[in-house]
Structure 1
Amino acid sequence: MTAARRALSEWSPNVTRDLLAGTVVALALIPEAIAFSIIAGVDPKVGLYASFCIAVISAFAGGRPAMISAATGAMALVMVDLVRQHGLDHLLAATLLTGVLQIAAGYLRLGDLMRFVSGSVITGFVNALAILIFMAQLPEFVGAGPVFYAMVAGGLAIIFLLPRLTSVIPSPLVTIVLGTVLAIWLGLDLRTVGDMGALPTELPSFLLPNVPLTFDTLWTLLPYSLTLAMVGLLESMMTASIVDEMTDTTSDKNRECRGQGLANIVSGLFGGMAGCAMIGQSVINVTSGGRGRLSTLWAGAFLLFLILVLADWVRQIPMAALVAVMVMVSIKTFRWGSLLALRTNPRQSSFVMLATVAVVVLTHNLAQGVLVGVLLSGLFFAQKVTRAFSVTSSLDEAGTSRTYSVTGQIFFATADAFHDAFDFREGVDRVVIDVGNAHFWDITAIGALDRVVLKLRHHGVEVEVTGLNAASATMIERLGTHNREGAALASGH
């Protein structure tokens, strides 16, 4: 496929479905952007402008078609202290710096690190996010009357039953439109989008943050920007992997890093806060039929159209209809099969998944949960590799030469076991260390080999290392010391 045809397929595999899916996303973005602005302690327009800018720029520059990026709760939580202590201008400056850091991460190919995130961590991340999405809807139920519950139940019925009759129009869109029409027609006393906060009445304008250009300002912003960049990239990379799986396609993670950085720079220059990919809105987009970049572009553009031109109608959208859509997202996001798999999966994999869920839900911090999951995965992997490591030995008939046969991976976790497998006071004349079925991975492993060889030589034993593969031999030649000391002894120095 040529580059032009590939680009065209990314933009509009199905124009109608992309436009309809983007419409649903835009409607669902409004209350969330307002809510996230309130969390961060800024005016609602800051989150709405950010969602518009980030969605539009990501449509062109992002690495994952059909993924929705905008203002998010995870990023808003990081901004609270910065806004409280220094104000909006510092937040906008931090957003610009966040974008620069994310672009640098893209060029450093940090997106490739997603290969080290195990399937158990991704499953735990997805399940935790589904739980958080559902929990975020619970405040709407507090003090709500039977009309609210009836509309949520009716909305869920439409969402799950309508696709059995027709898939021409996304069922979440039908739920929002019908809910709004019923609420207006019957004069229902329901909390609406307008109750969340004031909608902006003008286009975002270009502005530079009014902050001193000093090192003090940089040191003030840097911790927040680093955290925002990390949280944003992590959530975006995980969301991209989920959309990859849902659509059976691939994405360019490093391009997504760069695209997100550019989107945040544009957002900061037009009065918006930093944002990243939204798994909930991305799931809405994909389940509504969105597959191309057009759905992301339309979601951002239609969002601006809604808040500036159709604001009077948007204010009347009942929150019950949007709650029904988000409950659907949480239900479809959660991997229910993972609960049954707890009985069949290896206990360590299940523990990693559950630990990831627990940390994310308890801290409401996706980055911390994924970090814990990755660390646990690494520890369990090292433990598994350690168990596969072994050293056996045999003595020749004359009783003067012993051969040690090493099997497995020699690295920091097995280096001590490798060293302790040797008997340095046996009294043989010669020792052969056969590593034909082993591999040396790091400087700790090389150091363990050096200690073994040099200690045996100290006891007057002739030592020969055999079976080294090319990679291990190169590392030992570059980092090892026993060969150099052996050569010095042989030359009489």
Structure 2
Amino acid sequence: MSSFDRQYLRMFEPKLFTVLREGYGLQAFKADAIAGLTVAIVALPLAMALAIASGTTPEKGLHTAIVAGFLISAFGGSRVQIGGPTAAFIPVVFVVIQTFGYGGLILCTLLAGLMLIAAGLLRLGTLMKYMPQPVITGFTAGIAVSIFSSQVKDALGLRMDEVPAEFFERWAAYGKHFATTQPAALAMTVLGLAVIVGLRRWRPKWPGFLIALLACTLATTLFALPAETIGTRFGELPASLPSFDFPRIPFERTFELLPSAFTIAFLAGVESLLSAVVADGMTGGRHRSNGELVAQGVANVGSALFGGLPATGAIARTATNIRSGGRTPVAGMLHAGYLLLFMLVLAPLMRYVPLAALAAVLLVVAWNMSEAENFRNTLSAPWGDRLVLLLTFFLTVLLDLTVAIQAGIVLAAFVFMFRMAEAVEVSSGVRMIDDDLQTGDAARDGDQRAKLPAGVEAYQIGGPLFFGAANRLDNLLDQFFEPPKVLILRMRLVPVIDASGVHALKKLAGRCHRKGIVLIVSGLQEQPNRVIAKMGLEDGPGELHFASNFERALKMAESIAG
């Protein structure tokens, strides 16, 4: 086998194998067992709520979390990724089930899984880094609005049959049935929200979702409230192992399902890799993006074979795993095992859970998913980013997620080309990121490397810092054998910056802060200076500083480095 073949196969080696090869002891298992239990407690109510919101039964969500969650951790390219059903899939899954039936969703999930496997094998994982931030923020916020609007019926206990899929028709139907609001359901929604919000403020480490469900279930049972429950709508959940489940699959409609399958694959790829990047930032590790895509594909195929829903890496559950001490894929595998145990033991009791309590859980999920602060922040970005954000957002809410993503990316490409046309004279012949000594400025500025004080490093960016180049900042700190005390980032050759560039700069500043490195940005031109100021990236004492030129940055670095 050639070195190229070995390197290629290395990209797909599961992190579980890496962990076992390095040595896995009892102490690590104990930490993973505690983390897995914590995540399972968080995932239990979410899995049921997400399945109901998607238009299917709660056990489908649990089966997905068990089967796909296990496979994602066992075969994934991240040490700490936790997988399962997520809120991002709700709008597309709901429409697929309404249009093609549950068999259509099974086929759609199978196709999405195969697409993800192919994307990983073709090494397309790295291309996910080039997704414009306004597109991600736009469709994420749009999905949050869609989830919120889908929960009004259960949150208010409205007596109505089918909930229309279209946004305006849905709210028109709510208006017609508003008089049927059930006080008991509304009370359970308010109680659930109060418990979740209160615990997040005063007891943030407690499992707020599960406690809210328990409180609402006890209140409904003790006071015999006439609130609809899982049992009254779906009957008793099966206390059995997930099994192969094949409803009638409409293979003749495969081509009609391809756009929805592509959307599911796209969402799974983007969300799983975003989650892996967040996990890397929290743990200092590095995930294998292409291996992660293959694992996501395998997990979705596996979920479909057991009659489950689409699945991906879940950012909130992954963060919970890390904060609880999980550091290897075993934690994610145990999380799936705990969920299976919960289902086998607690299934008869889950029938008493009020649907309004699950609606409260999803209302909070929708708010968290909206990233309201990030949305407002992006509205302060240049006009092109604002246009991409708003177009993607409104198309997601009003039309279709697939159309929204396609339109957002196309518009972002046109905005990029317009910016490049403006900046071509400035950026011509300049490399994106390079050591100061390798740029044309070295001849004028002299041997700047020799001038740098001990513990100080300086790098220069040349050319527009936009969504296609912003990811180059991600690996900047990895070039140092020993982290410096101060890093000077020279940006006087950056004529234009967009929202993704500012986002990358914020991430770099955060990584520097975690590593104890003071970041100094020098020589900002007018447009980058204005955009950075509008988007709230400001001086932080001992963390981030701005200097008008390189000489002032050097003096500042000398005083900091001592």
**TM-score range with shorter-chain normalisation?**
0.5 to 0.7
Indicate the residue corresponding to 2:208 in structure 1: 171
1:123 aligned counterpart, secondary structure: helix
> What is the CA–CA distance in structure 2 between the aligned matches of 1:78 and 1:10, rounded to whole Å?
43
> What is the CA–CA distance in structure 1 between the aligned matches of 2:398 and 2:35, rounded to whole Å?
37
> What is the CA–CA distance in structure 1 between the aligned matches of 2:253 and 2:145, rounded to whole Å?
32
Indicate the residue corresponding to 2:264 in structure 1: 232
> What is the CA–CA distance in structure 2 between the aligned matches of 1:112 and 1:131, rounded to whole Å?
29
Conserved? CA contact 2:199–2:206, under 8 Å = no
Aligned pairs for 1:47-58 (under 5 A) are: 48-58=62-72
How far has the Cα of 1:210 moved from its partner? 8.2
Cα offsets for 1:423-477 (capped at 9, x unmatched): xxxxxxxxxxxxxx99xxxxxxxxxxxxxxxxxxxxxxxxxxxxxxxxxxxxxxx
Aligned pairs for 1:90-489 (under 5 A) are: 92=106, 95-140=109-154, 141=156, 142=158, 143-198=180-235, 199-206=237-244, 220=252, 222-223=254-255, 226-244=258-276, 247=279, 248-249=281-282, 251-270=287-306, 272-277=307-312, 282-283=315-316, 286=319, 289=323, 293=329, 296-341=332-377, 344-365=380-401, 367-389=402-424, 408=428
Indicate the residue corresponding to 2:42 in structure 1: 24
Conserved? CA contact 1:51–1:70, under 8 Å = yes
Percent identity over the alignment? 25
How far has the Cα of 1:378 moved from its partner? 0.7
Conserved? CA contact 2:64–2:311, under 8 Å = no
Indicate the residue corresponding to 2:84 in structure 1: 69
> What is the CA–CA distance in structure 1 between the aligned matches of 2:116 and 2:30, rounded to whole Å?
27
> What is the CA–CA distance in structure 2 between the aligned matches of 1:192 and 1:298, rounded to whole Å?
29
How far has the Cα of 1:74 moved from its partner? 4.5
Conserved? CA contact 1:82–1:91, under 8 Å = no
> What is the CA–CA distance in structure 1 between the aligned matches of 2:99 and 2:341, rounded to whole Å?
31
Cα 1:91–1:182 change in 2 (3 A) is closer
Conserved? CA contact 1:103–1:262, under 8 Å = yes
> What is the CA–CA distance in structure 2 between the aligned matches of 1:341 and 1:175, rounded to whole Å?
32
> What is the CA–CA distance in structure 2 between the aligned matches of 1:225 and 1:257, rounded to whole Å?
21
TM-score after normalising by structure 1: 0.65
Indicate the residue corresponding to 2:443 in structure 1: none
Q: Which moved more, 1:73-82 or 1:120-129?
A: 73-82
> What is the CA–CA distance in structure 1 between the aligned matches of 2:28 and 2:253, rounded to whole Å?
36
How far has the Cα of 1:316 moved from its partner? 0.6
Cα 1:13–1:106 change in 2 (3 A) is farther
Which segments of 5 or more consecutive residues in structure 1 lack a partner in the other structure?
A: 212-216, 391-405, 410-436, 439-493
**Amino acid in the other structure paired with 2:406:** L
**Amino acid in the other structure paired with 1:369:** A
Cα 1:134–1:349 change in 2 (3 A) is same
Conserved? CA contact 1:98–1:225, under 8 Å = no
Cα offsets for 1:276-317 (capped at 9, x unmatched): 3276xx436646856664564455444444444322211111
Cα 1:178–1:126 change in 2 (3 A) is same
1:188 aligned counterpart, secondary structure: coil
> What is the CA–CA distance in structure 1 between the aligned matches of 2:107 and 2:370, rounded to whole Å?
36
**Amino acid in the other structure paired with 1:150:** A
> What is the CA–CA distance in structure 1 between the aligned matches of 2:53 and 2:63, rounded to whole Å?
13
How far has the Cα of 1:186 moved from its partner? 2.0
> Which structure has the higher relative contact order (CA within 8 Å, separation 6+)?
1
Cα 1:245–1:175 change in 2 (3 A) is farther
How far has the Cα of 1:384 moved from its partner? 0.8
> What is the CA–CA distance in structure 1 between the aligned matches of 2:383 and 2:413, rounded to whole Å?
15
Conserved? CA contact 1:61–1:259, under 8 Å = yes
Conserved? CA contact 1:102–1:260, under 8 Å = yes
**Amino acid in the other structure paired with 2:316:** V
> What is the CA–CA distance in structure 2 between the aligned matches of 1:91 and 1:341, rounded to whole Å?
36
How far has the Cα of 1:152 moved from its partner? 2.4
**Amino acid in the other structure paired with 2:90:** G
2:54 aligned counterpart, secondary structure: helix
RMSD (Å), alpha carbons = 3.8
1:368 aligned counterpart, secondary structure: helix
2:44 aligned counterpart, secondary structure: helix
Conserved? CA contact 1:235–1:276, under 8 Å = no
> What is the CA–CA distance in structure 2 between the aligned matches of 1:389 and 1:16, rounded to whole Å?
55
Indicate the residue corresponding to 1:452 in structure 2: none
TM-score after normalising by structure 2: 0.58
Cα 1:261–1:307 change in 2 (3 A) is same
> What is the CA–CA distance in structure 1 between the aligned matches of 2:189 and 2:246, rounded to whole Å?
43
> What is the CA–CA distance in structure 1 between the aligned matches of 2:36 and 2:60, rounded to whole Å?
26
Cα 1:112–1:152 change in 2 (3 A) is same
1:344 aligned counterpart, secondary structure: coil
**Amino acid in the other structure paired with 1:62:** G
> What is the CA–CA distance in structure 2 between the aligned matches of 1:11 and 1:349, rounded to whole Å?
46
Conserved? CA contact 1:68–1:277, under 8 Å = yes
How far has the Cα of 1:196 moved from its partner? 3.7
Conserved? CA contact 1:92–1:268, under 8 Å = yes
**Amino acid in the other structure paired with 1:33:** A
> What is the CA–CA distance in structure 2 between the aligned matches of 1:174 and 1:185, rounded to whole Å?
16
Cα 1:223–1:62 change in 2 (3 A) is farther
Cα offsets for 1:389-434 (capped at 9, x unmatched): 46xxxxxxxxxxxxxxx9849xxxxxxxxxxxxxxxxxxxxxxxxx
